[in-house]
Amino acid sequence: AEAARALGSPHVFMNILTTNGLVQRFIEQWAGPLAQFTALKIKLGAPNYPGDCMTFSGSVSAVDAHTRSVDVTLSGKNSMGNHVTGTVSLVLP
């Protein structure tokens, strides 16, 4: 934390690998553990610092009933705004 402050940041911030894992967990909680991820495209925005609360929301933006494929558009928002936005494609069991 001190090194981050010395560089002008209020604290260390969440990296994209951690954010990626949280996005996958959010989607898997909705789709179930047997869903198969086929694509994950995310973009980071506002930093996410320790102690901040990030809330995910998402909606199905495309459905292919024949292949059981769906696209989910999502965002993870904290007190500073959107930390992560993106789209996840998956095949449902």
- 17-58 pLDDT per residue, tens: 999 999 999 999 999 999 999 999 999 999 999 889 999 999
pLDDT at position 78 over 90: yes
In the chain, where are the structural domains located? 2-91
The residues near 48 (Cβ < 8 Å, ≥ 6 apart) are 13, 14, 19, 54, 76, 78, 83
Predicted local confidence at residue 13, as pLDDT:
84
Instruction: Using pLDDT thresholds of 50, 70 and 90, give the confidence band for residue 12.
Output: confident
Residue 10, pLDDT > 90, answer no
Fold designation for 2-91:
Thiol Ester Dehydrase; Chain A (3.10.129)
